[in-house]
Each structure stands twice: as C-alpha cells, then as structure tokens.
C-alpha cells in the first residue's frame, strides 16, 4: 500500500534532531511526515544534560514553557572529577550568557517536542518502523514503513534520516563505512538509570573519570537523578554484564562517585547500549536523502552537546530546505539543497567535532584526565576557551534563565 499525495519532506526518527527539523519545516509551510518506531513517551539512554544553548532552540520551537512545566531542573555548572578527586568546574553561563543548562528526562523532553510537532501540523506516526528507502532512478523518493497494521510506503520530495546512531536509512548507502566502523570498534558500553537519594550537588552536573571511561550524574525532574556512564566492554564482560557490579567496581572507583552514589537507589530499569565510532558520517549519502543529529555525527558525550547538535542540525537542514520549498522534489533543487546543507554543516560543526576528538584520549585514560583537570583547573581563561571550543559559542542567540 502507498500513501496518496507525496509529502514535501519525510523525517524519520523523532529524537531532538527529527522533531526540530519537522517543527521548523512545518512552520515554514512544508507538508511534513514524521515517522517514529517507538510509542512515546519512551525512556532513552542519555546523560539528560541539556546544554544552555538548547534553551534558545526550545524558545524558537515554542516548547520552553512545556519543558519547565515538565519539571526541568536548572544546572548552573558542570564539575569534572578525576579518579583521585581533583575537580574543575565549568559554569553553564560560559556557553550562553544568562542561561543555565537543564536536567530533564528524555522521556519528558522528547514527548514535549513530539506534541509540538503535531500541534504545528506535522503528520506524526508513532510505532512506524522505517524499513528502508524507496529508490527510483538513483533518487530516494520516500520511505518503506512497517507498522502493526502491515507494510506501507510514504513518498516525499526529500527524506531526512534522523534515526540517531543506527542510521536506519543512510546505512543502506554506506556499507563500506559500516565495515570500517566495526573494525574501529572501541569496545565501549553505556548504561543509564534514574536514581533516588544521590548526593549530587544541587544545580550541578557532575562528571566522573575512571579507568576506561567516564560517567555523569545530575538532577532531573521530581527530585530524581540521572546516572549515565561509559565503560569498556571488557569490564562489562568481566563483571558478568551486571550494571550494579559495574557501577560499584568501576564507576565508584572515582572517589567523588563513591560519595554521591553510596546511598542511591534505582528508580528505573537500567538501559544499555554499545558504542562503536565517534565523529562525522556521510551527510548526504544518496540523492534526496539527508542526515541530521547523531545520524550525521556522534560527538563525545562528555561535551554534553549531542542534543544541541541534534537541535541545531535540524535547524540547519530546515533553513536550507525552506528557502527552496517550491521545487523541493526536483532533481536540481535536491542536489543544490544537499550541497548547501553539507557546506553549512561542515562550517558549523567540524571544528567542535575535531576538538572533542582530541579530548577523547584524555577522557578514557585516568592519568591524562588527572593532568587535564589539574592544568585546566589552574586557569579559568584556558578552561573557558576549551569549553567553548567544544561548541559554537553564540551569545547572540535568544537566551533565558529559569533560576
């Protein structure tokens, strides 16, 4: 079965990248389809640290009030702790003056964005698994979808892969990069759960370094804390794939983590996922197909800026398409949009991906993390410069404080 009238744009994946693009496109008059395989609200593995620059995006998308009423917690600073307890703080306002970061569960945040997409006229389908692209004459012309009701096809002038690191559509076109990424496999596993009764400092996101990885703890809504950590797959195997043991025997080797997590109790199930490669992927893997968010590139979680990159790349793709909406399905326009999108994406994001890649080495090696914390702890100027290099500092963006 196939849907009757083609959409201007089909967006696949309703994380922050997909909803940001869909809302902005619909607000510009586009007919937009947004497909999501899960039914919302759904939990998501993430540090749930929403960096201060995201507030400007929430305001533009018309969801800031909803985030606050969902109970978003204000985070004034991020404090990095070495395994031995040395610490260095990065105030949130270094990224966007006058704004704080937010702590809010992905279940709440993503749900609010999805509701907004519906409200601005996006056709939203949940429980719709994108099985692959529709390809005609070397052009992607929409998406093949499976739902509980069966298989169907949705046609669109342009298709956007916003399916996160799975790259559900893009991966059909880059088997070579798939092979390389499995060769490059770092053997990392990430875990996340919500906790009660932690001793995390109020208003702080705390980052703990330990052998083979790092973790983050911060308060979210309703007095809960979110704990998310990355460890080596070898440690996970050695400890019988038991997240509680990994927490006690790896993460809590960090002295500050031992202090804040000693009395903590789980208030959700653990989620886990394995991580392979970081960095940029193919942005426009086929004619008529663009990637955004984690499907375009995966920035190191310690930067706390993955969701910002998702929201921002959604904005970049929407702005690029919106200026040529009248002829969006035509081959020359599709090619032009792809070129313009790539150029703007690289201009905005490549340098922060490079800086994060350089810092990655220190993040996974305790004595390097220790040295980095001592060096950057000694100079606020250096610290501020480095912190801003992991982002595109833009103080002119619209800002707000919730404190």
Ligand X SMILES: Cc1cc2nc3c(=O)[nH]c(=O)nc-3n(C[C@H](O)[C@H](O)[C@H](O)COP(=O)(O)OP(=O)(O)OC[C@H]3O[C@@H](n4cnc5c(N)ncnc54)[C@H](O)[C@@H]3O)c2cc1C
285 binds ligand X (CB under 6 A): no
> CA–CA distance from 336 to each of 157, 329, 378 (Å)?
13, 11, 48
Q: Does 315 bind ligand X (CB under 6 A)?
A: no
> DSSP readout, 310-352?
HHHHHHHHHHHHHTTGGGTTSHHHHHHHHHHHHHHHHHHHHHH
Backbone angles phi, psi at 6, to 5 degrees: -65, 150
Residue 16 within binding range of ligand X, rule CB under 6 A? yes
Q: State the minimum distance, in angstroms, from the CB of residue 345 to ligand X.
A: 13
Q: Residues 80 to 119: which contact ligand X by CB under 6 A?
A: none
Phi, psi of 386 (to 5 degrees): -65, -45
Nearest partner of 152 among 160, 144, 140, judged by Cα? 144
Query: 168, 231, 283, 321: which one contacts ligand X (CB under 6 A)?
Result: 168
Q: Which is nearer to ligand X, 308 or 353 (CB)?
A: 308
Q: Segment near ligand X (CB under 6 A), from 90-98, 150-158, 232-240, 305-313?
A: 305-313
Shortest CB 118 distance to ligand X, Å: 15
Among 56, 164, 213, 285, binds ligand X (CB under 6 A): 164
- Does 306 participate in binding ligand X (rule CB under 6 A)? yes
Rg (CA), the chain: 21
Binding segment toward ligand X, per CB under 6 A, in 32-40, 247-255, 279-287, 324-332? 32-40
Binding of ligand X by 310 (CB under 6 A): yes
What DSSP character marks residue 56?
Answer: H
Q: Does 49 bind ligand X (CB under 6 A)?
A: yes
Among 8, 206, 219, 294, binds ligand X (CB under 6 A): 294
Q: Is residue 47 a contact point for ligand X (CB under 6 A)? A: yes
Residues 6+ positions from 226 with CB-CB distance below 8 Å: 46, 47, 48, 103, 105, 192, 193, 194, 195, 216, 217, 218, 219, 220
Q: Which is nearer to ligand X, 16 or 288 (CB)?
A: 16
Tokens found for residue 71: 């109970």
Which of 6, 13, 285, 366 is in the footprint of ligand X by CB under 6 A?
13
Pick 6 or 306: Cβ nearer ligand X = 306
**Is residue 17 at the binding interface for ligand X, with CB under 6 A as the rule?**
yes
290 is a contact residue toward ligand X (CB under 6 A): no
Q: Which one of 6, 56, 293, 366 is in contact with ligand X (CB under 6 A)?
A: 293
Residue closer to ligand X by CB (options 108, 294) is 294
Tokens at residue 222, please?
């309703």
User: Position of tokens 């533009």?
Assistant: 60
- C-alpha–C-alpha distance, residues 118 and 22, integer Å: 10
Residue with Cβ nearer ligand X (274 or 327): 274
Work out how close the CB of 146 gets to ligand X at its nearest, in angstroms, rounded to a whole number.
9
312 lies in the binding site for ligand X (CB under 6 A):
no
Residue 221 touches ligand X, criterion: CB under 6 A: no
Residue 189 to residue 221: CA distance in whole angstroms: 26
Phi first, then psi, for residue 147 (nearest 5°) are -125, 180
- 16-27 vs 54-61: helix crossing angle, rounded to 10: 40
- Cβ–Cβ under 8 Å, residues 307 and 54: yes
Q: How many residues bind ligand X (CB under 6 A)?
A: 38
How many degrees, rounded to 5, is the angle at CA 127 between CA 122 and CA 131? Answer: 95
Binding site for ligand X (CB under 6 A): 12-18, 35-38, 46-49, 51, 129-130, 162-164, 166, 168, 190, 216, 228, 230, 275, 293-295, 301, 304-308, 310
């Amino acid at each position: 079965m196939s849907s009757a009238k083609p959409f201007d744009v089909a967006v696949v994946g309703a994380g922050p990248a997909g909803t940001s693009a869909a809302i902005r496109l619909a607000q510009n008059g586009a007919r937009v389809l947004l497909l999501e395989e899960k039914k919302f609200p759904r939990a998501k593995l993430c540090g749930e640290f929403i960096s201060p620059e995201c507030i400007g995006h929430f305001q533009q998308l018309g969801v800031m009030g909803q985030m606050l009423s969902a109970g978003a917690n204000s985070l004034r600073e991020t404090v990095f702790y070495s395994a031995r307890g040395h610490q260095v703080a990065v105030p949130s306002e270094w990224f966007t003056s006058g704004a704080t970061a937010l702590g809010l569960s992905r279940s709440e945040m993503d749900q609010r964005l999805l509701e907004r997409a519906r409200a601005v006229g996006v056709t939203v389908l949940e429980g719709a698994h994108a099985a692959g692209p529709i390809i005609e004459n070397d052009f992607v012309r929409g998406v093949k979808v499976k739902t509980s009701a069966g298989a169907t096809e949705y046609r669109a002038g342009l298709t956007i892969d916003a399916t996160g690191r799975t790259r559900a559509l893009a991966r059909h076109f880059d088997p070579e990069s798939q092979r390389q990424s499995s060769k490059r496999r770092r053997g990392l596993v990430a875990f996340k759960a919500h906790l009660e009764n932690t001793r995390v400092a109020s208003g702080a996101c705390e980052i703990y370094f330990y052998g083979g990885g790092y973790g983050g703890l911060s308060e979210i809504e309703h007095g809960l804390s979110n704990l998310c950590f990355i460890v080596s797959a070898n440690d996970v195997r050695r400890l019988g794939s038991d997240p509680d043991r990994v927490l006690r025997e790896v993460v809590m080797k960090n002295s500050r983590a031992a202090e804040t997590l000693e009395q903590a109790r789980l208030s959700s199930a653990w989620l886990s996922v394995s991580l392979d490669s970081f960095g940029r992927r193919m942005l426009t893997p086929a004619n008529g197909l663009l990637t955004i968010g984690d499907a375009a590139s995966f920035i190191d979680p310690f930067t706390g800026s993955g969701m910002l990159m998702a929201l921002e790349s959604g904005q970049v793709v929407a702005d690029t398409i919106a200026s040529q909406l009248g002829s969006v399905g035509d081959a020359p326009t599709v090619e032009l949009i792809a070129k313009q999108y790539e150029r703007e994406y690289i201009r905005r994001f490549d340098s922060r991906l490079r800086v994060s890649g350089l810092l990655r080495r220190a993040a996974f090696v305790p004595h390097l993390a220790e040295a980095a914390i001592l060096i950057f702890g000694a100079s606020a100027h250096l610290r501020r410069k480095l912190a801003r290099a992991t982002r595109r500092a833009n103080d002119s963006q619209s800002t707000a404080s919730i404190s």
